[in-house]
Structure 1
Amino acid sequence: MPPTSLPRLGRTTVPPHALGYRRPPAETGIVHLGLGNFHRAHQAVHTAAALAHTDGPWGILGVAGRSTTVARALREQEMRYAVVEISPGRTEVTVPAVHTGALVAAEQPDDVLDALAAPGTAVITMTVTEHGYTFSPRTHGLDFDAPVVRADLRGDAPPRTTIGQIVRGLQRRRRAHATPVTVLSCDNLVGNGDQTKRLVHEFAEALPAAERDDLMPWLQSAVTFPSSMVDRIVPATTDVYREAVAARLGVRDAVPVPAEPFSMWVMEDRFAAGRPGWEHGGALFTDDVEPYELLKLRLLNGTHSLIAYLGALDGRETIPDAIARPFIADAARSVLHDEYLPSLTVPADVDLDDYVRQLFDRWGNSALGHRTRQVGSDGSVKLRQRVPDPALLHLRAGRMPHHLALTVAAYLCCVAPPPGFSPGPQAAAMVDPARERLASITGRAPLGSRAADACGVEAVLASGLLGDGLTEHPAFASRIAELIGVIVRHGPAAAAADAFGAVATADARAVGAAEGVAQAAR
């Protein structure tokens, strides 16, 4: 911890050279739901750069869900915090200074709704993770079976879901002044703008007739939902980063944010009531965000998941420690090049070789030390966005995606380990909303015993873990089960070797078949 004798970071104690935006924003134009590290190291930094270029009424009011830690610290520090940009070659500390306030929705629900309804609020942004959208894994629509969703629809208490908060805030806005507004998702969902619009509209359609009829026409005409892709590796805050701020700025910061140097933001330019000049902060605007989304969700996030699960099972605390293991690096290259890459179209302005090289450099950033337990958490929601479509593409073409199967096998060994198998402390520390449910399934059909493996994995897939499509391919479940058995009996390195060997065998057979066809033709 930094010495307590140092002054606390604030408006008068922050060194001017560290400020990302030198004038405190006087007006709030953006309300952001999800006051976590990612928002503070990504959207806030891009906004500071935009305002440094062109001033405007674009201060950010941050809203935490339930935790008071960050919001309280920001208030004590007069909305100042540091971003510690770190790589093996250098460390740079900056203070974005673009927040105008910090609320906690669980404690100040009316204030949150008033902020969403305020006439000066032109953009509502959100980073609440995939889990925060309360959608059904099967339909991708709003999960009307969830008690918290039903409670928000009844409206007899302040809304607790993100979608409920947005709709109730938009209701107040409609009744007060009906000015246009944009809702911008910054989470890792394919078509996150369309997905958010669908959930908001489904919630509104489920309201009582009088409320629905008042809200829906305005919602259709005055509220836009552009899609976006966000990319930056942002680990959890530790004392290492507090000490870095103390050493470089001479102040105490309770909530600094570590981040890698790389940052990317791609958006559709469909804003109903204006926006900051984010292009001056490095953001890219395009009419088609999906290729960038898929590039990131699969090549970065999908591969990242495999690295995290194999690394955790191998006892590696951090992603750099994991990717330094040759068998994990080889598995990462295989799943990226052979299984994810064929499932997407690379945007024309992206140099693929350079992009992939950067990915491995980013994963190997030993100075940052992103933890396997953090990357591996919430896999039941994340993998549903990453694995099914590429896996189905290969399965329908008659190819077994061995490394996608390895991803699922390693995930299940981490969060729902077979009885008698210990995945290690890194895996045990992963947080996952489906952990208990999956454990109850694998407990009924213990994974790791040869006779029950395929049945157990089929039961897991039938539970909706990866949607419905993969349940039609029992061979995929069998392959996952085989790899679980290898992990349990021989460890993750043996499972990666098994997956790689199966790919090599399949390739050899394909070459042999092609040569046979060519010889017959001659």
Structure 2
Amino acid sequence: MSGTPQRLSRSHHGAVHVPRTPARAGILHLGLGSFHRAHQAVYTAAAVAADGGDWGIVGVASRSRTVVDAMRAQDLLSSVATISPEGMSLSIPGVHTDAFVAADEPQRVVESIADPGIRIVTLTVTENGYSSSPATGHLDTADPTIVSDLRGGQSRSTIGQLARGIQRRAAASGAPLTVLSCDNLAANGARTKALVREFLEALPATEAAEALAFLESSVSFPSSMVDRIVPSTTPALRSEVSSLLGVWDEIPVPAEPFTMWAIEDDFAAGRPAWEAGGAVFSTEVGRYEDMKVRLLNGTHSLIAYLGALQNAETIPDAVGRPATERAARAVLAHEYTPSIQVPSGVDIAEYERQLFLRWGNTALGHKTSQVGTDGSVKLRQRIPEPALRLLDRGEMPHMIALTVAAYLSCIAPRPGFDPGPFAAAMKDAARERLIPLARAARTGADLAEASITDLRLFGADLANRPAFIERVGELVDTIGRDGVSAAITESVTAAETDMRSRASEVPA
């Protein structure tokens, strides 16, 4: 594109159809990032096209003004680029009716939740956005933002904003509301409700009584499982998409062809016909959650950390290496897949085959540094239950131990070990706490014990499993001394040996 590019707009939208935006908003979405625009917005556009309804979306970014400013300059439009090795296709959902930044207008978030015209609040604020204690899973009442929110004034935490908005809604219209978490938390609906309730219960009883009663009678919190790989936007993608559109889109979203959304059908005030976009309404959302969080996300994390330690910039590059693919297949076969109940109608062998096709999508270019970011929070959702399942049976989860060892080696390498540039590019809130521990550790076991037991990085249960912690420490030492390939070989061999031993003990 030459000269000053014309911006994407409703009057000049180039070659891709822009659907009519709903007249009014019925959804408030917290977390206006790429995933939301490539997932919930796409499903909502399909729902409105099929069944109509006032289901426009008011998008709220947590802090960044980049997306909000761009959307406002583009008539609240952005494109989704679906990318596969076969090529790229473009769509423009066009369902947003407004956008703003929560950090700039925190009270507006509360007022929007209280607005009776808003019937659903959806969330993609990441696992970090729920203000829960890593050790207990309960509301972190020592978090300075939660402390401030409980004192009154402008609420700035997501949980505080939800609680204060529900409090105001109860006192004003009393209109029913649905809060729908779309983050990778086990039982995310029940978890969100519990955290909101804990916030309200921390207020003076006279201040919270009406809101607590309203929470129980008129606010539903269905659980959901979301799945679509959405890498970061690059300048090259921005230019390619804009050339195909014929107009400039500052914020196109790249996404893989695969998409899935499983939802509990428990909506207090109606919902869009999301099934028109392929959403599945199910009583087995917990099974979908476990399948996705462990098989996709848990293995994805392992691939990212092993890949970064092998100087692989992208997930396709990482999983394309035989040793990493062998590790990924081993953790699936021996540790993650046996830990789940497969949802009805899902062919698990086909699902796993699709996983490797998705990870191997070279056109998508998903970076190991992006997938490996925030591992201290992500792994806490992914590894404890399947690890504990084996430990309780007297078996060692070698591949999950390798995941933790590779994570620690990326985020807090011991002195003398260089994990490489892609590990260094990973962002993690725990890095500042872990690095001094790594510097002080004489062995991998010291680092493992300090992070897993003392910091309780992965919760209280794993903190009290010395055999697991010892195994993680051994693998940290192997990575530092012999390299990540040696650690992969050691872990996979041990996992396969244990599996054969168990099989030989089964009576014929």
Fold shared by both chains (TM-score > 0.5): yes
Query: What CA distance in whole angstroms lies between the structure 2 residues aligned with 1:427 and 1:87?
Result: 26
The equivalent position to 1:126 in structure 2, one of 119, 123, 127, is 123
Instruction: Provide the residue aligned with 2:7 in structure 1.
Output: 8
The equivalent of 2:222 in structure 1 is: 226
Listed one character per residue, the Cα deviations across residues 426-480 of structure 1 (whole Å, up to 9, x for unaligned) are 000101011111122222224xxxxx33233112111111111123321111111
Write the distance in 2 (CA, Å) between the matches of 1:209 and 1:124: 26
| TM-superposed deviation, 1:119 | 1.3
**2:247 maps to which residue?**
251
Which structure 2 residues correspond to residues 417-436 of structure 1 after superposition, within 5 A? 417-436=413-432
Corresponding residue of 2:315:
319
Indicate yes or no: 2:444 matched with 1:453. Answer: yes
Distance of 1:278 and 1:245 partners within structure 2: 27
Contact 2:16 2:90 in 1 (8 A): no
- The aligned residue for residue 354 of structure 1 is 350
1:276 alignment partner, SS class:
coil
Give the aligned length: 507
Given residue 252 of structure 2, which amino acid in structure 1 is its aligned partner? P
After superposition, give the CA deviation of every residue in 1:162-214 in whole Å (9 maximum; x if it has no partner): 00111111222122211000000000000000000000000011112221112
Which residue in 1 is equivalent to 2:63? 66
Task: Name the SS for the 2:334 alignment partner.
Answer: helix
Deviates more, 1:4-13 or 1:267-276: 4-13
User: Do 1:4 and 1:252's aligned partners in 2 also have CA atoms closer than 8 Å?
Assistant: no
Q: What residue is the counterpart of 1:42 in the other structure?
A: 39
Confirm or deny that 1:386 pairs with 2:382.
Answer: yes
Normalised to the residue count of structure 1, the TM-score between the two structures is: 0.95
CA contact (8 A) 1:409 1:484 kept: yes
DSSP 3-state at the match of 1:348: coil
What SS does the aligned partner of 1:18 have? coil
What does 1:298-447 correspond to in 2, within 5 Å? Answer: 298-446=294-442
Q: Determine the structure 2 residue equivalent to 1:53.
A: 50
Unaligned runs of 5+ in 2: none
Residue identity in the other structure for 1:222: S
**Measured at CA, do residues 490 and 150 of structure 1 come closer, stay the same or move farther in structure 2, by a change above 3 Å?**
same
Q: Quick one: distance in 2 between partners of 1:427 and 1:332?
A: 19
**Aligned counterparts, 1:453-472, within 5 A:** 453-462=444-453, 463-472=455-464
1:188 is matched with 184
Q: Confirm whether residue 81 of structure 1 aligns to residue 72 of structure 2.
A: no
Matching residue of 1:449: none
Hey, what's the Cα distance between the residues in 2 that align with 1:187 and 1:388? Answer: 18
1:104 matches 2:101:
yes
Q: Is 2:107–2:155's contact at 8 Å kept on the other side of the alignment?
A: no
Offset of residue 16 of structure 1: 6.5
Q: Which residue of 2 aligns with 1:135?
A: 132
- 245 and 507 in structure 1: CA distance in 2 versus 1, 3 angstrom threshold: closer
SS in structure 1 of the partner of residue 179 of structure 2: strand
Give the structure 1 partner of residue 161 of structure 2: 165
Tell me if the contact between 2:70 and 2:250 (Cα under 8 Å) persists in the aligned partners: yes
TM-score, normalization by structure 2: 0.97
Q: Which moved more, 1:361-370 or 1:100-109?
A: 100-109
Q: How far apart, CA to CA, are the structure 2 residues paired with 1:91 and 1:31?
A: 30
Partner of 2:465: 473
Aligned counterpart in structure 2 of residue 482 of structure 1, from 447, 469, 474: 474
Give the C-alpha shift of residue 504 in structure 1: 3.3
Task: Give how far 1:417 is off.
Answer: 0.7
Q: Which residue of 2 aligns with 1:114?
A: 111
Over aligned residues, Cα RMSD in angstroms?
1.4
Work out the CA distance in 1 between the residues paired with 2:396 and 2:3: 58
Give the match's secondary structure for 1:124. Answer: strand
Q: Could you tell me how far 1:511 is from its partner in structure 2?
A: 5.6
Letter in 2 for 1:464: R
Distance 1:185 1:504 in 2: 38
Distance 1:510 1:108, change over 3 A: closer
What SS does the corresponding residue of 1:125 show, helix, strand or coil?
strand
Conserved 8 A contact 2:16-2:245? no
Q: 1:504 to 1:337 in 2, by over 3 A?
A: closer
